[in-house]
Amino acid sequence: MLTNEQLSTFRSQLIKAKHDVEEQLKEGDHFDLQQGHFHESLGELSSYDNHPGDEGTELYEREKDIALNEHVEKELKDINYALEAIDSGTYGVCEKCGKEIPVDRLDAIPTTTYCKEHSPTQIVSHNRPIEEGVLMTPFGKFEFDGEPDEVEAYDAEDSWQDVARYGTSETPADLTDSVDSYNETYIESDDQVGYVEEYENFIGTDIEGKEITVYPNNQHKKYEEDLDEEGIMTMFGDLPPYEKDPYTED
């Protein structure tokens, strides 16, 4: 059971905390929420000439002010509730089980009226922002999206990769795997574009897939060098005879 001296100490702490919170809300005009519209807090009359990006920033700041105001008002409500508990003689006793609340817990959270086991804030919320219900990935809702990997067609994922090559909000520090440059930060950046295997860049066939012809170029040269390093024979046979080095530019 708390002594009169302990109760007096907690009352003093709560009264001081109440004064500080009320002063904070008064000086900050409840985070400018007393204004009729957030334009009033910015000194603007209209959104007509504002850039949509600026409007988005102002909306975010307004939402943040609402959240902060709710947090501080909840703190003030808890302080008043604890002071009422002191006046009624129930302070220091858990509302749920009736057991005494340890003094160490009251020192840490003077506004609490619950023991640790029955604190209503023990449940961690798993609610996600409502925006996640309407925002979608940059691909996944168009033709060919979600098809098996063997379907090779230019789909929404490929178009996203083309755009992402010019930069995204991702940085190398955002990724779990180490990358060498920003060119590797977008989704499946190692995907081949327009072909599946490297040899498709220098192999040609007739309409029936026969009469295989090798068209030498730099990619073919690199492909052959990679095969030599691995000690693997190419399946395409020898190159056709050329009068000059096919890898030399005109």
DSSP H or E segment with residue 224: helix 218-230
Establish if 129 belongs to a structural domain: no
190 and 236 inside one domain: no
Q: Is 101 helix (H, G, I), strand (E, B) or coil?
A: coil
Q: Does 181 lie in the same domain as 205?
A: no
**Sign of the dihedral defined by the CA atoms of residues 237, 238, 242, 248, in that order:** positive
- Together in a domain, 204 and 239: yes
Residue 103, pLDDT above cutoff 70? yes
Residue 80 sits in the same domain as residue 154 = no
Looking at residue 110, its pLDDT comes to 95
Give me the number of domains the chain comprises.
3
Check whether 114 has a pLDDT greater than 90: yes
Which of 87, 119, 151 finishes a domain? 119
Average pLDDT across the chain, whole number: 78
Q: Whole domain around residue 164: which residue ranges?
A: 135-196
Banded model confidence at residue 62, pLDDT cuts 50, 70, 90:
confident
Do residue 114 and residue 203 come from a single domain?
A: no
pLDDT tens string 4-52:
999 999 999 999 999 999 999 998 888 888 776 666 666 666 777 777 7
Domain assignment present for 126? no
Same domain for 104 and 50: yes
For residue 124, tell me if it sits in a domain: no
Tell whether 99 and 87 lie within a shared domain. yes
Q: CA-CA distance, 220 to 28, in Å (whole number)?
A: 69
Provide the pLDDT confidence category of residue 107 given band limits of 50, 70 and 90.
Answer: very high
pLDDT of residue 21: 95
Q: Residue 6: its pLDDT value, please?
A: 93
Cα–Cα distance measured from residue 78 to residue 92, given in angstroms and rounded to the nearest whole number:
14
- Is the predicted pLDDT of residue 112 greater than 90, yes or no? yes
Looking at 60, 90, 119, which one is the last position of a domain? Answer: 119
Q: What are phi and psi of 88, to 5 degrees?
A: -90, -5
Indicate whether 164 pLDDT > 80: no
Q: Is residue 55 part of a domain?
A: yes
Q: Are residues 165 and 115 in the same domain?
A: no
Q: Looking at the structure, do residues 151 and 227 belong to the same domain, yes or no?
A: no
Asked if the structure places residue 176 within a domain, the reply is yes
Assigned domain for 144 exists = yes
110 and 63 share one domain? yes
Q: Are residues 110 and 142 in the same domain?
A: no
